[in-house]
Structure 1
Amino acid sequence: MGKKAGQFRTYEDAGASPAVIPHSAVEDIYALIVGCVLLTLGLALLKAAGLVTGGIAGIALLISYLVPLPAGLLFTLINIPFFAFAWRAMGRGFMMKTIAVNAGIALLSIAMRASLSITVASPAFAALVGGTVIGMGILALARHGAGVGGTGVITLWLHKRHGINAGLSQIAFDIVILGISLSVIDARALAWSALSAAAVSGILIAWHRPGRYTGF
């Protein structure tokens, strides 16, 4: 039986492939700002709970417990060596956007430290929500041709070049980073930190798949 006039039809029903419509410059800028906000907020939640996470964010949080600098600023400083790899592996446009993202995170982290005070009563809440927020921030950036640098650039490159799921490759990096974290945080905090890393990777595993969206 045919579909009624005006009834929703999928691309599969129509036998056609969806047209690739590139993002406008305004859409890209807005997405990069949103991604920076989400990443900065997620880092602040984890820092308030004394936790770390995976990826470059976890390294920044880990170092922030040893030196009196905002995690977001450390995030950017650690990423500097990775910009060259971003250029060679993903192109100049990706690198420029990634540099802009890192500058935005550094500035937002300084502003957030002066403007917002977060008290966390439940490390489980901070781990789950903080990790999810960071994951959504990374996803927003990836959908608009940017990354957070560090291991994030490598996972996106593996996804683009070899089709390896970004979430799965991120888990491999996270295991190493969380193992190193035991030298700074206790086992209980490490367990909650592992939950935060799983929340980040879960977002990428669920929604960063080849063919599901256009872009990287």
Structure 2
Amino acid sequence: MSSPEPDPEPEPESESGSEASSSLVFEERAAPHTLADDVLGILTGTFAASLGLHLLNASEAVTGGTAGLSLLLGYATGWPFWVLFAVINIPFAVLAVWKKGWNFTIRTVISIALVSGFSVLHEQYFVIAELQPLYGTLAGNLLAGIGMLILFRHRSSVGGIHVVGLVIQERTGFRAGWTLMMFDVVIILLALLVVPWPNVLMSAAGAVLLNLVLALNHRPGRYIGR
């Protein structure tokens, strides 16, 4: 009796097959953003951020960063948000040129101008007669965080303290979201001088939500686009 033939060895999985399966989620090499990608991304990010700030303004709430400072000064002085937001960010634009270069600075200046411009449009065409403050505060911060995250992805920001946060993250690895959160605590505490304390508590909760969006999503290796 002849001995049985050995079972055939399993064929190794082809490299093309494994590459194909992995490409269903991510491409091996991330394609850089095109000019059209950046334009659409900056427009989307600034619109979302400005809409979130509009909800915060209607809720008489504040948030962190220069946007929160602009809202706070607007409540105290009655000056339009878009004017305060543009003026407060001027010194930080100088920092952006020094630490981040002209490419990032130009994108950031455009983003600041767009947030200010969209804010004027929201005031004219999205008049909010009544808004539950807690909903407006949380939804506003969530939208603002999503907008800022989109801008970060396209090498831009809404200026101000966000530039500081990005510089610290690139130099030390300390996440931008946590840096912003520390600055935000100071701004939220200052709000006690201008708005009622229940609004300050809501603002604190909203600022935490915004910074969690940034801290959990904006980190090295999390995003493969360039």
Instruction: Give the TM-score, by structure 2 length.
Output: 0.86
Task: Please list the CA deviations of residues 158-196 of structure 1 after superposition, one character each: whole Å capped at 9, or x if unmatched.
Answer: 112211111111110011111111110121110000011
Contact 1:144 1:215 in 2 (8 A): no
Instruction: Note the residue ranges of structure 1 that are not aligned, 5 or more in a row.
Output: 12-16
Q: Given that residues 134 and 200 in structure 1 are in contact (C-alpha distance below 8 angstroms), is that contact kept between their aligned partners in structure 2?
A: yes
1:10 counterpart letter in structure 2? S
Change (3 A) 1:3 1:135: farther
- Can you list the C-alpha shifts for 1:30-59, whole angstroms capped at 9, x where unaligned? 111111111111111011011001111110
Over alpha carbons, which structure has the higher Rg? 2
SS in 1 for 2:99: helix
Cα deviation for residue 120 of structure 1 reads: 4.1
State the match for 2:111 in structure 1: 101
SS of aligned partner of 2:201: helix
Q: CA deviation at 1:119?
A: 3.5
Overall identity of the aligned pairs, in %: 33
Cα contact 2:30–2:225 (8 A) shared by 1: no
Structure 2: which 5+ runs fail to align? 1-9
The residue aligned with 2:172 is 162
1:21 corresponds to: 31
- The one-letter code of the counterpart of 1:71 is F
- How many residues end up aligned between the 2 structures? 213
**Counterpart-to-counterpart distance in 1, 2:130 and 2:171:** 40
State the 1:3 CA deviation.
6.5
Tell me what 1:59 maps to: 69
TM-score norm. by structure 1 comes to: 0.90
| Aligned counterpart in structure 2 of residue 199 of structure 1, from 172, 186, 209 | 209
Supply the distance in 2 between the matched residues of 1:119 and 1:153 (Cα, whole angstroms). Answer: 34
Q: Give me the whole-angstrom Cα distance separating, in 1, the residues matched to 2:141 and 2:165.
A: 17
Matches within 5 A, 1:134-213: 134-213=144-223
- Residue 72 (structure 1) aligns with: 82
